[in-house]
Structure 1
Amino acid sequence: MNKLNVLITGSGSLYGVAVIQSLLKSKLNVKLVATDTRPHTLGLHLAHRAYIIPPVREEQSYLKRLLEIIRKEKIHANFIASAQELPFYSHYKTMIEDETGAKVFTNTAKVFSICSDKWNTINFLKEHHFPYPNTIRYPEDKEQIDNFLKKVGFPIFVKPRWGQGSEDIHIVQDLSSLRQVLSQKKDMVLQQYLPGDHEEFTVGICSGADGKILSAIALNRQLQDGITMVATSNPASIHYKDITEYCKQVTKTLKPYGPCNFQLRLWKGKAYIFEINPRFSSTTGIRTLLGVNEPEILLRAELLQEKIQDLKILKSSVIRQYTDYLVPTEQLVKLERESFLSKDEKVE
């Protein structure tokens, strides 16, 4: 292929922008086509071509427009950068690939079921004898709360079974606060608090369709409002190597396809995974800076059938800081009016 035409849907998300920026930094000859539901999303203005599409909840309208774009742009690969779109692509992956020939990087419904529900994640870890934080459901297991608290004590985490980032996540210090947090709530989990903010890691692993692990990197991270703001890589450290190898073992059991992120904390010498996200993440761009360009790796391995050589991961830290982008108002108006924008037409 002389040029790879790559579609990034949900391109305005934090990791959608990271995927686009990673591919722009790669040595591959790519044309990037971005989609989103609103013109005021950065990914649309970084890609070579941009389309406004219906929200994924309008399933048939979304599907029709998606297929039109894939055919028009002769798309070779489709990366999904919106968590809301993942179930759609899991359902339609085979149909899209059969009808268009575009490779869709998404997971099976089984993998999504395990990872999107924190209770299912815990049961997966438990079933396969991996360490896991003690966890109960609310309200289903409310009669177990007293025994749970006797076992783990305060503080505890209270979080939604389904959800991302730091939204509605609470560190609860006492029984009174617990009652207040749980008031009029459902579909929650109560989880053992694992101490040691400095011992939190995010591990990114990319897998091919045959289950082969293509890349792996462990990052010690510091959080602010649920987002990684500082990430440190130390590939020569036995400590980091052990964490990476452990997550590889979990990956081989879970069998995800494409990018997968494991959030964990170390406690008493063991790695306790508390969340698995089978998708690109907010640290996708950080990994690229450290030598692991996950979108490029997937294109090379899965589309171009290249062998991925040993990656040179930097021993370094990345500090995240937000950048402001200047976009001409006329460009936004044009995109909003016509639902399409080509880089050749962008106002400089």
Structure 2
Amino acid sequence: MNKFNILVTGVSGIIGYGIVKSLKSSKYNCNIIGIDIYDDAVGQFWCDVFEKGVMASSERFPTFLYDTIIKYNIDLVIPCIEPELEVLMRHKKLYDKLDVKLVLNNEEVYPHLHNKAKTYDFLNGKIEQIPTLIGRTDFDYDYVAAKLGVPFILKKNISYASQGVVTINDQKDFDYWKYRYSDGYICQKKIQGDNEYTISVFGTQNGDYANMIVFWRKLGNGITVKAKCINADDDMIDYVNQLCNLIKPIGPTNIQLIKDGSKYLLLEVNARVSASTSIRTKFGVNEAEMCIEYFLLNKVPQKCKQKRGSAIRYLKDVIQYDSDNF
């Protein structure tokens, strides 16, 4: 069996080291090269090789990645940090010169999914969504409150891991946050209840996908801290099918839904691997393995045998001693 050189970015984060561990448990022989801006990134302990990287916002990042791909003869790059994904999208032609595959989603739709206001506009009238108003600096609190009710949610247009999401209870809250997020925000009706779902599909173009896996979830610090792997009901499947026909995902795609009464409504789409990827692997859906099959072997991933059950995340220590001499 061929040995694949896989580059994983952002291995200090839960997505990055989740992908590394998923690669380690896959059926493929992988040489894993991890990069991160922190030289003490915890993910390096599970990589075969580690390189300290540069910030995605740096003008050096595209060439740093280019040189790293050449240095280690990389076959596949799996970006795990949103800013790095954006850079790869913008500079894709640079890497087209190399014999390397990039795990990138639908380039035509990604700009719409990267921005919450653009997501709402792109899908408006095509699929049912949470009642939403696209924010302006001159928005009046009474107008928004009358349209959406109180409390309502205010979200920064571009944010990650549930950062930039606040609950508005009164005029004072609204005035503070709308000016803090004056570069772009949306307001949405607050849906009550313990009814959020994170869904992964592996897009295979043209609206088709493989291996949908569904978790009911509880959030903490922007990530799933408790999850229950469940079967999707017909309404959820219909909603996901409608959405995928619109966004035509390619590769790992995370869909977050909330249930309002009997209806499923979209919270957001992450056109990338999400923080629950390591949990999915333990329930039988290894997204990293599917990336190898789809992007390197040109195969549609086979149907995975999924398990059912619950997951709880907890803190764990990784210790590196200065010396073995005590």
Is the structural similarity TM-score above 0.5? yes
Instruction: Say which SS state the counterpart of residue 54 (structure 1) adopts.
Output: coil
- Contact between 2:128 and 2:265, CA under 8 Å: does it hold in 1? yes
1:326 maps to 2:319: yes
Aligned partner of 2:64: which letter?
R
- Contact between 1:205 and 1:248, CA under 8 Å: does it hold in 2? no
- Note closer, same or farther for the CA distance 1:242–1:328 as it changes in structure 2 (3 Å cut): farther
Tell me how far apart the structure 2 counterparts of residues 218 and 314 of structure 1 sit (CA, whole Å). 11
Alignment of 1:225-240 (within 5 A): 225-235=221-231, 239=233
- Which residue of the other structure, out of 254, 257, 272, is the alignment partner of 2:250? 257
- Contact between 1:7 and 1:79, CA under 8 Å: does it hold in 2? yes
Aligned partner of 1:221: which letter?
R
- Note closer, same or farther for the CA distance 1:184–1:288 as it changes in structure 2 (3 Å cut): closer
- Which residue of the other structure, out of 130, 134, 140, is the alignment partner of 1:133? 130
Structure 2: which 5+ residue stretches go unaligned?
none
1:204 maps to 2:193: no
- Which residue of the other structure, out of 234, 240, 253, is the alignment partner of 1:247? 240
- Contact between 1:234 and 1:314, CA under 8 Å: does it hold in 2? no
Aligned partner of 2:29: which letter?
N
- Note closer, same or farther for the CA distance 1:171–1:207 as it changes in structure 2 (3 Å cut): same
The alpha carbon displacement at 1:8 in A equals 0.6
- Note closer, same or farther for the CA distance 1:248–1:323 as it changes in structure 2 (3 Å cut): farther
Shifted more, 162-171 versus 20-29: the winner is: 162-171
Q: Deviations over 1:85-114 (max 9, x none)?
A: 111100222431x32211101135532321
Shifted more, 22-31 versus 165-174: the winner is: 165-174
Instruction: Say which SS state the counterpart of residue 74 (structure 2) adopts.
Output: coil
RMSD: 2.0
Tell me how far apart the structure 2 counterparts of residues 33 and 85 of structure 1 sit (CA, whole Å). 16
Q: Deviations over 1:10-58 (max 9, x none)?
A: 2222101110011111111111011111211112221101111222222
1:79 matched residue in structure 2: 78
Tell me how far apart the structure 2 counterparts of residues 6 and 209 of structure 1 sit (CA, whole Å). 23
1:217 maps to 2:213: yes
What percent of counterpart residues are identical? 26
Structure 1: which 5+ residue stretches go unaligned?
331-348
Aligned partner of 2:246: which letter?
T
Tell me how far apart the structure 2 counterparts of residues 31 and 156 of structure 1 sit (CA, whole Å). 48
Instruction: Say which SS state the counterpart of residue 55 (structure 1) adopts.
Output: coil
Tell me how far apart the structure 1 counterparts of residues 108 and 156 of structure 2 sit (CA, whole Å). 20
**Runs of 4 or more off by more than 6 Å in structure 1?**
none
1:309 maps to 2:319: no
2:53 matched residue in structure 1: 53
Instruction: Say which SS state the counterpart of residue 100 (structure 1) adopts.
Output: coil
Tell me how far apart the structure 2 counterparts of residues 319 and 300 of structure 1 sit (CA, whole Å). 29
1:14 matched residue in structure 2: 14
- Contact between 2:208 and 2:244, CA under 8 Å: does it hold in 1? no
The alpha carbon displacement at 1:326 in A equals 1.5
Aligned partner of 2:57: which letter?
R
2:192 matched residue in structure 1: 195
The alpha carbon displacement at 1:138 in A equals 2.8
- Contact between 1:135 and 1:192, CA under 8 Å: does it hold in 2? yes
Instruction: Say which SS state the counterpart of residue 207 (structure 1) adopts.
Output: strand
Tell me how far apart the structure 2 counterparts of residues 41 and 53 of structure 1 sit (CA, whole Å). 11
